[in-house]
Amino acid sequence: MRNILITGGAGFIGSHVVRLFVNKYPDYHIINLDKLTYAGNLANLKDIENCPNYTFIKGDICDFEKVREIFKKYDITGVLHLAAESHVDRSIKDPFTFAQTNVLGTLSLLQAAREYWDGDYQGKKFYHISTDEVYGSLGFDGKLFTEENKYEPHSPYSASKASSDHFVRSFHDTFGLPVVITNCSNNYGPYQFPEKLIPLFINNIRHNKPLPVYGKGENVRDWLYVVDHARAIDLIFHKGKVADTYNIGGFNEWKNIDLIKVLIKVTDRLLGRPVGTSDHLITHVTDRAGHDLRYAIDSSKLKNELGWKPSLQFEEGIEQTVRWYLDNQEWLDNVTSGEYEKYYEKMYSNR
């Protein structure tokens, strides 16, 4: 029996990781610690909430006493740390929350793990799920981020994730804590909060609302289906080398504007609308401050050492994703009503 603490398990990626672990490892006890911020949603985990090997705890990773208690009460042997403030635009408006959760929250987990494991690191692992944004931005020269790239974060979000990565490494170097870090590219798929490009635009197309393209839409992102990220996390948690870093990406670069055109095409088709119906919704708005031009990940280390590669072609993944949001309008309506509606209106009226 292994008692695994997953933080942020009610969020987008976390919910896919929790589902995978609960279903795949019936002899593990999965403890999901989540504060249920605007981005956390227990509806994401309805299908596994009554499984005997699953426990949900509502709590803040910054609450050191609570985290300590959880380690003790559940005899935690492994940590998959995903809890974070994850949206770049929000980090520009409210950087303090990002420093609090992403930096101090990570530190609280590291300190609790170190104290509880107390030097007995046999069979233990602390896995920090991080982002490719820590590497900064690439140009259009075809280069990819490798694990050797230096850290050069630009947004308050990526600065907070870079800082938390440094804390994680420092706990290995100083105390010998068995850590592993992965830096992943942009994820897409079901249960993503509709402030992020893909679910936001699908929802807006459905409701004939403008699609706010930042600047010219020339920025490039490398998209990976979330279930493939969860599979990589499973593999690295079990087989990844302690103190090592792995990049995870889809080898799937898209200019925002080209991706948006694909989204419009697929969404219109699945809604039974004639081709081109929603093209006029594209609206160029003021660019994101400090907007990184291009991210692209070289994940060949993960492929060569552990045999992982994405399982889904992008065309298939995007079709499944659009279909999921159209079929789950109630989920979307629940998360976009109320406070979020106000936040979104305010964000665009301020630009």
Catalytic residue ranges? 132-133, 157
With vertex at residue 56, the alpha carbon angle to CA 55 and CA 62, rounded to the nearest 5 degrees, is: 125
Cβ–Cβ < 8 Å for 103, 110: no
**Residue from 106, 131, 204, 245 in contact with ligand NAD (CB under 6 A):** 131
With vertex at residue 85, the alpha carbon angle to CA 318 and CA 196, rounded to the nearest 5 degrees, is: 25
Residue 193 interacts, among ligand NAD, ligand DAU, none and using kind-specific CB cut-offs from 5 to 8 Å, with: ligand NAD
Q: Are strands 179-184 and 245-248 parallel, antiparallel or unpaired?
A: parallel
Cβ–Cβ < 8 Å for 58, 41: no
Tell how far CA 106 is from the center of its chain.
15
Count Cβ atoms below 10 Å from residue 223 Cβ, excluding itself.
23
Taking CB under 6 A as the criterion, which residues in 47-76 touch ligand NAD? 60-62
Cβ–Cβ < 8 Å for 313, 252: no
Given the complex with ligand NAD, which of 13 and 213 has the nearer CB atom? 13
Nearest distance in Å: CB 132, ligand DAU: 5
**Residue from 197, 281, 332, 335 in contact with ligand DAU (CB under 6 A):** 197
Q: Which residues contact 300 (CB under 8 A, 6 or more apart)?
A: none
Nearest distance in Å: CB 246, ligand DAU: 15
Q: Does 314 bind ligand NAD (CB under 6 A)?
A: no
Q: Does 169 bind ligand DAU (CB under 6 A)?
A: no
Given the complex with ligand DAU, which of 171 and 254 has the nearer CB atom? 254
Site track for ligand NAD across 151-180, x = CB under 6 A: ----------x-------------------
Q: Does 34 bind ligand NAD (CB under 6 A)?
A: yes
Q: Which residue has the tokens 């989920």?
A: 331
Nearest to 20 by CA among 35, 34, 6: 6
Q: Does 108 bind ligand DAU (CB under 6 A)?
A: no
Q: State both tokens at 208.
A: 């004939």
Residues near ligand NAD (CB under 6 A) are: 7-8, 10-14, 34-37, 39-40, 60-62, 82-86, 101, 105, 129, 131, 161, 184, 186-187, 193
Residues near ligand DAU (CB under 6 A) are: 86-88, 131-133, 185-186, 196-197, 200, 212-214, 219, 221, 256, 288, 295
